[in-house]
Each structure stands twice: as structure tokens, then as C-alpha cells.
Chain A
Amino acid sequence: MPATIYRRSTLLVMVLFLLTAYPLTAEQADAENCNLCHGLALFGITTPADGFRSFEVTSEAYRHSTHRNVICRDCHTDVNVFPHPEEVAKVECYKSCHITKPFALTGYSHLEQSEAHAISAHGSNPEYSAKKNAAKPDCKYCHSNKFRNVINNESLQENSKHCVRCHEGEGLAGVILHVSSHSGHRTAEASINVVELCSSCHADQGHMKQFDVNLTQVEGYERHFHGKALKRGLDEVANCMDCHRNHLNLPADDPNSSIHPNNIQQTCSANSYCHSDVSGKFAASAIHSEPTSQNNPILFYVEWGFIILTATTMALLFAHIFLDFGRWLGDIWLRRKEK
């Protein structure tokens, strides 16, 4: 929508606050000096329709982001003139940039991930309306653009704890391993953040109702050991992506899905710290939906059995205790009355 905003240029107010002389540090990725303007605090435009829209890229966030070594125009490909064109293309993650893959000479791109996403449950479905497709997460929904968002220190610390679990004290060898095996990594985010991210849609039943999916996935996960232990800080338990994969999220009835009955056994033991040598029976038990009298009657009635047993036992024990205590109080009262 940036184009329409620009056309209402009579209503446009350019906000340019030179609050302070901005410390410009020599950054490799800012070889083209974009931060000369975009590094200014509160740099942006205000329109009556949309309010303030920030174009600010804070140096702090920029230096710490994943894309700190990528030149701005590697992604913002059509920003070639100054002043910039009114209409600029959206950044597409599958375009290759000037970074080269380690041990390869090809330009780096997220094409592979983008293609997996396109055919996954999160990709757009031609049978769906545009609105329904727009309700699905695109690259940037999950990979929040950290150029624009000032990194939250707390989550940064949480995430680095996650890295240190394996890389503590590994020195240069660790760094080499880190670079060369980056694509084989579980996730750069702490597991708790992954669950939070997926839950931002999947726990919202109002949002998920429009899709043909299980509405109690998140509740089921949180009832399960993985969910509970994760909340208590056990990072190696499975998060959503460990079983459902990161880009190729497919429904269980798709034979290529990581949670298809034929593949789930493999999925449970995919990581070295997960369950090794699992049987088909074990894999079949790893469901996290809420048990109902229809989908899992045995579990449903076992659970109710315990609730009824506990409630009845406690009711009887409490009744006994109160009667016993009542008799004791009554005796005191009677003795006083006699005096």
C-alpha cells in the first residue's frame, strides 16, 4: 500500500527530527550510506489514514540482525535512484543476494525455503479467497524483520542461552562448526519463542476456524509433557517445529508430511537429543489433541475416572473431618453450658 500513501502527498507530512548528531559507524553492510537518512531517529512519514510509518533503521538493531552483512539493496532491489521511487516492490526472500554460500560460489538465497513454504499448509491455496490466503503466515510473519524492530534484549539473551547449550567454550572449532552446519540447526530461536510464535495464530480459535485444522493443538501441546517442561525451562523438549518442520509444514494425511503415520517414527528420533530407537507404537502415542469421547475414548474416560475418584474421595474425607471437628466443638459448647 505504500504507493497510495504517496499519492495522497498533499496530506503528507515529512517528519524529520534531527534530535542528535547520529553516530555513524562504519558498517560493512551500509556501504551505500543508507543509514545517513534511515539511521535518524523517528525518520518516517505521517498520513492521516495510517498514522506514523517509520523508515528508521536503528544502528543497534541493524548490527545485531541476521542480515547485518547484507547490503540494503540486495533485498530492496529496485531502490536505485534518489529520491527513491514512490512505488517500491515488496522484498522477496527468494531473491539471491551478494552473500555466497559457504564452500560454494553461488549467491545465497532463501529460494529453497520459499519453495517449501509455497507447497506447505502455510502456502497460498488457489481454492482459497485472497483474504483467506492473506491470513496465512508469509516469510516475514515468522521471520520478523529485525532491521525495523529494535531487538528486545531479553529475548536476545534467551536465544543466546540456547546457542551456548552446545557451543560453550568451543573456541575457533566451534565457530567453524557453527558456520558450516548452520543450515542443519534446529532453530536460532529459543524453543519457547517458537511455540509463542506458532501460538500467535494456532491458539487463536477465531482465526483458525476458517481453516480445516485441529483447534486444540496448542492446548493439547501445553497439557503434554513437552509443553509443560518447556515452560519450566527445559529447552531440549520438542517445540512445534521439531515435529512439524519449519517450512514444509504439511497436514498429517499428506504422505510427505513429517507427521504422516509412515514418517512420524522417523520424526520422533530426528534429533540426537530426542527419542532414539522409537517403535511405531511409541510414535502413535505422541498425539497432543484434547481427548474427547469420540477421538480417544479410553483416555477421555481414564481422565474422568480420576476426576470422579478424586472428587468423591475428597468429599467423603472432608465430610468425615468436618463431622469429627464438629463433635469436638459441640462437646466444648456442651461442657460450658453445664458450668
Chain B
Amino acid sequence: MSQDYTRFTLSQRLQHIFMFVPFIILVLTGFPIKFPESEFWSVVMSAAGGIDNARVIHRFAAAVMILDFAFHILYIGYNLIKRRPSLADMHLVPNVRDGRNIIENMKYFLFISDERPRFHKFSYIEKFDYWAVFWGMFIMAGSGIILWFPVLFSKFLPGIVIQIAYIAHSDEAMLALLAIIIWHFYNVHFNPRIWPANKVWYKGTLSEEEMEHEHPLELEEIKAREEASK
């Protein structure tokens, strides 16, 4: 009998939505200033109501995103304290298996092996996605807040910090956008095995077939646990 398996809880799905909606708005209101002579971004800028509006919208979206990230940090803290998970239960923490999986996957890609690596709840691909956003949030929010209140921050930080924040905000934004539209979109949309979209971000569940294909090791563990509790 085929059954569905919970991958993301409602809270986790909402956290994702409150991350990507502001992300899109921030890109649309930020990149026109990064590329002031681009015709394409001019159209976007006019759609946002000109630079005066765009600056207000950008800050509002940033506040939503930062609050979402702050909630995520509290959420992790709360779960760490409440559940006291073992290292093996913290599925997003990179481990030795990821290294092994990368090698196995390379062998699979190059037709050296026909066996796809057997992933647990999060493959190294998904872990990279998660930690890229995690790092990006500190860079983008940190530099963004400095640029929001440059005079305030320069009261206790050297002036060069504002210039570094300016470069970091602009360049990390580019990196984040590329990572999302190339890496994340390939893995959840454009990958021909996934196309047109992985619906788990709003459904929250995966079917048994999907589990078997993408997360066999996790499925194996769940089944073993069910077996033991019988």
C-alpha cells in the first residue's frame, strides 16, 4: 500500500514562503539600482513605481525576510532544546556521508556506476541550498541594515565598513540570485526528472515512489522504525 510521507511541516512551508516572496520583491526593487543603465531593469523599476517607491518596498520586504529568518533561528533553538536531537538526527548538518554521496554521484554522472547514491532526508544538494541561504542571510541582512542606517553605524564602526557593506550587499545579491535561478531552480523545476515542479513546498508530503527515488535511506529508516514499533 502506497502512503504519503511528511517532508515539511506547515511551519516549515510557511517559513519558505515568507523567505521567497520577499526574496523576489527584493530582487525586483534592488537590481534596478545595481544596474542603473539596464533597459530590462528600467521596466521593472517603473513597474515598482520608480526609485522612491522601490526603496520603501525594498525595506519593507527586507524587514519581512529578516523577521522570517529570526523566527527560523528561534525555531531551531526551540527544537534543539525541546528534542535534544543526536547529531545523526540533525539531518541538515553536513557529514561524511555527503562526501561519499558526492563521489558516488560523480561516478553515476560519468557512467562509471549505474547506482544513484542513496540519499537520506537531505542530500548534499539540498544541504548546499539551505546553507547558502543561511550564509546569504547574514551577509545580506547585515550589510543591508548597515546601508539602511549608515550614519548610525559609522558612529561606532570605521567608515570602511560602510563601503564593504555596499560591495557585499551588491555582490552577494548577485551570487544569491544566480544560486537561486540556476541551482535551486534546476533542482526543483528544470531537472527533467522533476519538471515542471516539485510540489512538496506547498503539499508538504512526498509519495512512496518519490521517497523511494529521492530519499531511499530515509524511507528505509522510517520503515525499520515502523517495523520495530509493531
Contacts and interface: CB of A to CB of B under 8 A. Distances in A.
Partners in one complex: yes
B193 interface: yes
A298 B52 CA distance: 32
B143 to A, nearest CB: 11
Contact of A283 (B37, B52, B147, B159): B159
A296 B159 CA distance: 12
Given A231-B37, A327-B109, A330-B111, A276 B151 contact: yes
Interface of B: 32-34, 36-37, 45, 50-52, 55, 106, 108-111, 125, 147, 150-151, 154-155, 157-164, 166-168, 171-172, 174-175, 178-179, 182-183, 186, 191-193
Contact of B179 (A303, A317, A330): A317
A267 to B, nearest CB: 14
Contacts of A37: none
23 contacts: A228-B33, A233-B50, A233-B51, A234-B55, A278-B154, A281-B154, A282-B150, A284-B158, A285-B150, A285-B161, A285-B163, A298-B160, A298-B164, A302-B164, A302-B167, A306-B168, A306-B175, A313-B179, A321-B182, A323-B109, A324-B186, A327-B111, A328-B192
Interface of A: 222, 224-225, 227-229, 231-234, 275-279, 281-287, 296, 298-299, 302-303, 306-307, 309-310, 313-314, 317-318, 320-321, 323-328, 330
Give me the 3 closest cross-chain CB pairs, A-B, nearest first: A285-B159, A282-B154, A231-B36
Contacts of B179: 313, 317
Nearest to B153: A282
Contact of A299 (B106, B147, B160): B160
A284 B36 CA distance: 25
A184 B91 CA distance: 65
A334 B163 CA distance: 54
B160 A326 contact: no
A282 B159 contact: yes
Given A231-B37, A281-B159, A324-B109, 15 more contacts: A225-B33, A228-B36, A232-B51, A276-B151, A287-B163, A302-B164, A303-B167, A306-B168, A309-B175, A314-B178, A314-B182, A317-B179, A324-B191, A328-B191, A330-B111
B171 A306 contact: yes
A317 B178 CA distance: 10
Nearest to B36: A231
A229 to B, nearest CB: 6
B178 A275 contact: no
A227 B150 CA distance: 17
Given A275-B151, A327-B108, A228 B191 contact: no
A285 B154 contact: yes
A76 to B, nearest CB: 42
B194 to A, nearest CB: 11
A225 B147 CA distance: 10
Contacts of B51: 229, 232-234
A309 B167 CA distance: 13
Given A228-B36, A229-B33, A299-B164, A281 B45 contact: no
Contacts of B151: 275-279, 282
A284 B42 CA distance: 32
A228 B54 CA distance: 14
Contacts of B110: 323, 327
B133 to A, nearest CB: 13
A79 to B, nearest CB: 46
A310 B34 contact: no
Contacts of B45: 232
B34 A228 contact: yes
Contacts of B155: 279, 281-282
Nearest to B193: A328
B186 A321 contact: yes
Contacts of A233: 50-51
B159 A317 contact: no
Nearest to B162: A285
A33 B69 CA distance: 74
Contacts of A232: 32-33, 36, 45, 51
Nearest to A332: B192
B59 to A, nearest CB: 14
A2 B160 CA distance: 54
Nearest to A326: B109
Contacts of A326: 109
A310 B175 contact: yes
B34 A281 contact: no
Contacts of A277: 151
B226 to A, nearest CB: 32
B110 to A, nearest CB: 7
A234 B52 contact: yes
A323 B161 CA distance: 40
A321 B36 contact: no
A320 B179 CA distance: 13
Nearest to A227: B36
Nearest to B42: A232
Given A231-B37, A281-B157, A225 B164 contact: no
